[in-house]
Amino acid sequence: MQNIHATELREKLENGESLHIIDVREQDEYDAGHIPNVPLYPLSEFPGVTDKLAKDNVYHVICRSGGRSVTACDYLESEGYKVINVEGGMLAWDGDVEA
């Protein structure tokens, strides 16, 4: 599994890169603040989210601190998805946030 730090992810977004990012926290955490335009797919709802994802995309997976995103990435990789774990999660995110 590949990893990227939250700061590097922000830099990629600021440079205009088109990325597929998914947030795997729970609804209350997401509602408290999330990266703009990033959809929520709670880890607690896996494996039911895979029908919403395309296997030809590379997904950057973020959670609060990086633990749940590793679990989500492991599962998605085992199902044939291309994923990149966001190290540090939202605790390390220093970009825009919307609630």
- Catalytically active residues, by annotation: 63
The amino acid at residue 58 is: V
CA pair distance 66, 85, nearest whole angstrom: 7
Strand runs labelled E in the chain:
2-5, 20-23, 58-62, 82-87
